[in-house]
Each structure stands twice: as C-alpha cells, then as structure tokens.
C-alpha cells in the first residue's frame, strides 16, 4: 500500500548524559520515512527545509527510495532547528532553543503523484497544517494516523480535536493521554479518546513500552526493549510511527492482528534509534538485524 508521511525535516542539537552533538539532521518526517523505508519500497515524504539542508541527507533519502517530490526547499531560508537537553532519566528534557525558520510559514503541498495514497502518517505539526493535508487528498486514504503533543492540546485544542475527528489512529504518550482526556486511568483515558474520532489509540510509554487500544475494548501491550543504555531518545516516537506505518503498508489488510504486529515492529525500530545520536543507527540497518530485534520482542513476551 502507498504510504505518505508529513512532518518536519530539521536540524537538532542534542545533549544527553552520554554526550552532546553539534547541529545534526533530525525531524519527525526524517525518522518516520527512514524507518518506514525498511518495509515500504517507496515511502513518500511531505516537508520543508531551507537551502542550508545538506544534499547528502536528501541523497540518503533517495538511496532508501524515499520519494522527496513533496519536500519543499526554500531558497534563502533556513531549516527548522531544535536544541534540547535530556535529564538523567531520559524521560524528560528541556528545550534550549527553537528556531522555526521555514516551519513558520509551512504550507504543505501534496504532489499529484501522492494522491492515490493508501496510508497517511501525519507527524507532529500544527493541527491546522495536518488537517490541510487531509483536505488536499481527493480520495480518503484507508488509514490516517496522527502524532501530536501536549503543546497543541494547550494552545490549539479546538484545531486538534477537529483533525482528530478525521483520523483512524492517534499516537500520544501517557501524560498526553491523561491531558487530552482529563482521566488519570489510562484505560478510562483510552475509552474517552476513542469517542473523539479515532478507531485505534496508541499510548507510548517510553521505557515501559506502548499500549494499543481499539473501540471493541481490545488492549495490546508491547514492552520496550531493555537496553543497557538509552543513548539518545530523540526520534524514538517517530521511528516507532514509521516502523508501525511501514509495516502496515506492507500488509494486505489492516486488522487487529496486523496492528499488534505493527506495534512490535515500531517498537523494534525505535530500539535502534535510541542506541546512537540522531539517525546514525537507523540509517543503515539490514533485514537480518531488524528480524533479530523483532524476535527479541517475541522472546520477551511469549509464555
């Protein structure tokens, strides 16, 4: 199935307890597309960068057969930049600097060649921009997934609720699920969020794994892999989403069974990303190491 992803392609500067980076390539759509490329033979990307964005990364996208027709390159402008520092527990971080640059006026344009998209992944962005992408598609995709964050719940809740109404899968973390629903119990939170539009809800719990809920009261729990070190969590959630959507796009049908397997695939892909800074680990994986990682999840959970 044809997969289109929308989100940032950006620069990050990251500090963790294990070290710090200069400006490196990051962005939700970078992680999503790279991760999906291991399961989809031509993932399509929609984003925007400035003319300071490295040609090598665009070449990397092409080497993974990622379609960049939807990537706008703004002459004379600068790429979105985020800088942050993680705390010891790696579950929380402080933003040190945000330079929106090209993102400030980002108006995504869906190329005609993307119109027959079956699966649409809306990475974390202004909810109005996410809705704008859905509206440009002449035929509704079979599956629309959306990632968002607490920030939009606080400053653009109405817009967020409007786009959530139009989607099939929502991915948020546990604190965001509590914020969006006003419920502390994740089970109650899930039940409430599933009345807002989506058929499926994924709650990401970082080192504690992820939960998948549907409207039929089904629940699936995936662990996170236990790594000796989480070196840099940046992009883990987006890599998860890319593996998840990439795997689904490789299936004939979207069912509860394929959704569960997709959660495991996404978790396996995310476990690579956190092993090194940025896209270092995710950019050059092979099928065997991915299969081994997925098997580790199988061993960790089967009884």
Q: Which residues bind a second copy (CB under 8 A)?
A: 88-89, 184-188, 190, 205, 207-209, 211, 218-223, 226-230, 257, 260-261, 263-264, 298-303
Closest distance of CB 211 from a second copy, Å: 7
Residues 6+ apart with CB under 8 A from 114: 2, 4, 44, 46, 67, 69, 70, 137
Closest distance of CB 261 from a second copy, Å: 5
- Contact status, residue 31 vs residue 40, Cβ threshold 8 Å: no
From residue 267, alpha-carbon distances to 231, 245, 290 in Å are: 16, 12, 11
Closest distance of CB 58 from a second copy, Å: 36
- The residue among 34 and 190 lying less far from a second copy, judged by its C-beta, is 190
Using only C-alpha atoms, what is the Rg of the chain? 18
Closest distance of CB 262 from a second copy, Å: 9
- The residue among 163 and 262 lying less far from a second copy, judged by its C-beta, is 262
Q: What SS3 class is residue 285? A: coil
Helix (H) or strand (E) holding 127: helix 127-136
- The residue among 68 and 91 lying less far from a second copy, judged by its C-beta, is 91
The structure tokens listed for 197 are 């539009």
- The residue among 155 and 227 lying less far from a second copy, judged by its C-beta, is 227
- The residue among 104 and 299 lying less far from a second copy, judged by its C-beta, is 299
Closest distance of CB 213 from a second copy, Å: 9
- The residue among 80 and 200 lying less far from a second copy, judged by its C-beta, is 200
Closest distance of CB 242 from a second copy, Å: 19
Specify the residue for token string 């996410």. 130
Closest distance of CB 67 from a second copy, Å: 30
Helix 256-273 to helix 28-36 angle (10° resolution) is 120
Residues 6+ apart with CB under 8 A from 196: 161, 164, 165, 180
CA 248 from centre of chain? 14
- The residue among 34 and 170 lying less far from a second copy, judged by its C-beta, is 170
Transcribe 15-44 into DSSP letters: EETTEE-SSEEE-HHHHHHHHHTTT-SS-E
């Amino acid at each position: 199935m044809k997969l289109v992803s929308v989100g940032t392609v950006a620069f990050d500067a990251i500090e963790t307890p294990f070290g710090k980076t200069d400006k490196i390539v990051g962005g939700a759509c970078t992680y999503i597309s790279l991760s999906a490329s291991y399961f989809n033979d031509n993932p399509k990307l929609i984003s925007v960068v400035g003319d300071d964005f490295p040609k090598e990364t665009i070449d990397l996208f092409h080497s993974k057969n990622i379609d960049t027709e939807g990537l706008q390159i703004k002459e004379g402008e600068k790429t979105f930049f985020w800088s942050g520092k993680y705390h010891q527990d790696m579950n929380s971080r402080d933003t040190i600097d945000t330079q929106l640059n090209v993102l400030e006026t980002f108006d995504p344009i869906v190329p005609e060649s993307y119109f027959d998209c079956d699966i649409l992944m809306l990475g974390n962005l202004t909810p109005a921009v996410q809705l704008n992408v859905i509206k440009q598609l002449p035929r509704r995709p079979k599956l629309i997934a959306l990632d968002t964050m607490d920030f939009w719940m606080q400053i653009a809740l109405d817009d967020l609720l409007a786009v959530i109404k139009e989607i099939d899968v929502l991915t948020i973390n546990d604190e965001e699920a509590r914020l969006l629903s006003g419920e502390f119990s994740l089970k109650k939170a899930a039940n409430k969020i599933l009345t807002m539009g989506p058929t499926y809800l994924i709650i990401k719990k970082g080192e504690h794994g992820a939960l998948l809920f549907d409207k039929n009261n089904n629940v699936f729990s995936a662990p996170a892999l236990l790594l000796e070190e989480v070196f840099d969590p940046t992009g883990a959630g987006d890599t998860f989403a890319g593996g998840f959507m990439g795997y689904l796009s490789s299936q004939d049908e979207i069912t509860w069974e394929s959704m569960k397997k997709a959660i495991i695939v996404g978790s396996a892909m995310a476990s690579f990303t956190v092993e090194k800074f940025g896209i270092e680990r995710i950019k050059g994986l092979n099928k065997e190491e991915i299969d081994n990682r997925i098997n580790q999840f199988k061993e960790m959970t089967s009884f």
